[in-house]
C-alpha cells in the first residue's frame, strides 16, 4: 500500500490531474444542475448586475451596504466582462476553485515544509465531494477562501520583503467579502506573542502585522469613504453585522439561522427597506439588542455555544443542500440524486474529521510533552480556532466551516503522510520539488 501511495504522490502527473479533474467535475456539475438563485444568492446576482450596469451597489431599489460588497463587486466585474448570466457566475466559481487548490498546495508546503503533505492536500481538496456543488450556486465562500489562503501565504512567508504588502492587499479584499475576518491578524499576533519574544523577533513581527493593516486599510478606504457619504457614519463595512449577531443571541435562537423578522426582533417594520440611513440605524439597533441580551443572559449565551459548535461542524453535506434549495419541485430525479449525494458527502466528511481529530490529538500530546512543533504549523490551528469562535459569538451553520476545510485537510494530510509515507533517504530524494515550485521549474 505504501508503495502505491508513494507512486501516486510523487507522480509528475498528480498536480495537473488534480487541477484538470477537479475542473471537469465542476463543469459537468454546472451543466447538469442549474439551481435558481434564492435568498442571499438572488441578492448577490441582482446587486452584481447593478454594478455591471454602472449603477453602483444597489439593492431594494437604492444604494446599500447591507451585504459586504466584495463578492457582488467581483461578480459584477465578471458580468461586465462576459455578460450577465448564471453560467458566467458559475465559471467564476470554477476559476476560484483552481485558485483555492493552488493556494492550498502552496500554503501546505509552507506550513509543513513537506511536498508530500502539500500534494496530498491538493489531492483531497480537488475531489472533496462537498465543495463540488458550490460551483453551481452564488455564494461568498469560494471567493473568500481563495483570498484568505492567498493572504496567509504572503503574511506567513517573510522570505521576500514585498510579501507582506501582497498579504495586506489580499487581506483587505477578504475583509470586503467577510468583515468578521478583520481581527484575524491581531489574533495570530497574540497567539504567537510568546514565540516572538523567545525568538527575539517581536518588533519585527509587530511591524509586519502593522503593515498588513496599513495596506488593508488603504484597500478598504474607498469603500469606507463611499459609506460615510451614504450613511453619515465611519467606519461602515456592511450593515448586516447587527442582525447576524441578533440571530444567534435572542430568547428564541437555536444557535443556527432564524428569521428574526418573523420573530419580531427587527427594529424596523420593513427589514430591508427605508433609506440608507435607516439601514445603518437598524444595524446599530440590532447590534445593541443582541449585546444587551448577551450581557443580561450570560449563562444562556454560554450554554448555546456548544450547540453552535455542533451546528458548525456536525455536517459536511451542505454543498448539495444549497443546490436542493434552488431546484424546481418537478426535477425529481435530480433532487433524489442530490439527497443521495448528501449522504456520500457526509460519509467522507466524517472520515476527514476523524483524521483531523487524530492529528489534533497528536499535536496536543506533543505540546504536553514539550516536544518542538514547527511554529508555522500552529498557524493552521489558530485559524480554525478563530473562525470557530466567530461562529460561537454570532450564529453557526455548516456552510461557515468552508474556509477552514483546507486547513483541516492539511492536518489530516500530515497525519496520513506520517502514518503511511516514509520519507526516503537522500539517494531517493527527500521532499522532491514540485513542478509548481521555484526549484522545480
Return the domain boundaries, the chain: 2-244+297-420
Q: What is the mean pLDDT of the chain?
A: 90
Cell, residue 128: 472533496
Does residue 432 carry a pLDDT above 90?
Answer: no
Q: Can you tell me the mean pLDDT for 297-314?
A: 96
pLDDT tens, residue by residue, 85-141: 999 999 999 999 999 999 999 999 999 999 999 999 999 999 999 999 999 999 999
* Model-wide pTM > 0.75: yes
Q: What is the pLDDT of residue 370?
A: 61
Q: What is the pLDDT of residue 441?
A: 38
Buried b (16+ CB within 10 A) or exposed e, 336-371: eebeebbeebbebbeebeebbeebbeebeeeeeeee
Bond prior to 235 in cis (omega within 30° of 0): yes
For residue 91, the surrounding DSSP H or E stretch is helix 86-112
Q: What is the pLDDT of residue 373?
A: 63
CA-to-CA separations, 140 to 175, 177, 204, 388, 420, in angstroms, rounded: 12, 7, 34, 18, 36
Amino acid at each position: 500500500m505504501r508503495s502505491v501511495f508513494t507512486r501516486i504522490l510523487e507522480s509528475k502527473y498528480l498536480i495537473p490531474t488534480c487541477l484538470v479533474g477537479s475542473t471537469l467535475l465542476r463543469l459537468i456539475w454546472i451543466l447538469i444542475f442549474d439551481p435558481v438563485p434564492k435568498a442571499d444568492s438572488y441578492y448577490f446576482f441582482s446587486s452584481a448586475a447593478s454594478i455591471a450596469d454602472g449603477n453602483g451597489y444597489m439593492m431594494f431599489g437604492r444604494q446599500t451596504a447591507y451585504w459586504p460588497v466584495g463578492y457582488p463587486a467581483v461578480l459584477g466585474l465578471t458580468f461586465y466582462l462576459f455578460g450577465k448570466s448564471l453560467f458566467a457566475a458559475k465559471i467564476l466559481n470554477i476559476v476560484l476553485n483552481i485558485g483555492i487548490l493552488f493556494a492550498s498546495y502552496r500554503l501546505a508546503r509552507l506550513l509543513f515544509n513537506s511536498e508530500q503533505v502539500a500534494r496530498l492536500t491538493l489531492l483531497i481538496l480537488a475531489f472533496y465531494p462537498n465543495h463540488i456543488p458550490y460551483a453551481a450556486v452564488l455564494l461568498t465562500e469560494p471567493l473568500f477562501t481563495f483570498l484568505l489562503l492567498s493572504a496567509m501565504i504572503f503574511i506567513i512567508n517573510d522570505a521576500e520583503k514585498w510579501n507582506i504588502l501582497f498579504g495586506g492587499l489580499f487581506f483587505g479584499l477578504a475583509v470586503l467579502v467577510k468583515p468578521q475576518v478583520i481581527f484575524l491578524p491581531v489574533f495570530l499576533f497574540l497567539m504567537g506573542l510568546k514565540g516572538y519574544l523567545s525568538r527575539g523577533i517581536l518588533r519585527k513581527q509587530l511591524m509586519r502585522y502593522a503593515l498588513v493593516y496599513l495596506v488593508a486599510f488603504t484597500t478598504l478606504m474607498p469603500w469606507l469613504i463611499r459609506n460615510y457619504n451614504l450613511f453619515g457614519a465611519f467606519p461602515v463595512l456592511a450593515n448586516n453585522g447587527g442582525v447576524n449577531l441578533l440571530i444567534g443571541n435572542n430568547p428564541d435562537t437555536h444557535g443556527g439561522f432564524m428569521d428574526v423578522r418573523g420573530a419580531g426582533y427587527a427594529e424596523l417594520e420593513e427589514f430591508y427597506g427605508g433609506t440608507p440611513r435607516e439601514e445603518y440605524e437598524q444595524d446599530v439597533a440590532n447590534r445593541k439588542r443582541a449585546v444587551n441580551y448577551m450581557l443580561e443572559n450570560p449563562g444562556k449565551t454560554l450554554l448555546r455555544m456548544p450547540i453552535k459548535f455542533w451546528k458548525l461542524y456536525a455536517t459536511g453535506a451542505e454543498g448539495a443542500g444549497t443546490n436542493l434549495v434552488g431546484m424546481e419541485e418537478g426535477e425529481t430525479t435530480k433532487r433524489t440524486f442530490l439527497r443521495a449525494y448528501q449522504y456520500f458527502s457526509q460519509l467522507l466528511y466524517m472520515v476527514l474529521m476523524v483524521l483531523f481529530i487524530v492529528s489534533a490529538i497528536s499535536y496536543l500530546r506533543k505540546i504536553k510533552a514539550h516536544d518542538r512543533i514547527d511554529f508555522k504549523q500552529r498557524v493552521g490551528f489558530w485559524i480554525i480556532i478563530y473562525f470557530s469562535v466567530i461562529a460561537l459569538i454570532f450564529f453557526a451553520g455548516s456552510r461557515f466551516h468552508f474556509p477552514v476545510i483546507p486547513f483541516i485537510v492539511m492536518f489530516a494530510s500530515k497525519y496520513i503522510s506520517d502514518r503511511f509515507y516514509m520519507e526516503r533517504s537522500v539517494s531517493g530524494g527527500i521532499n522532491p520539488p514540485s513542478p509548481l515550485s521555484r526549484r522545480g521549474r
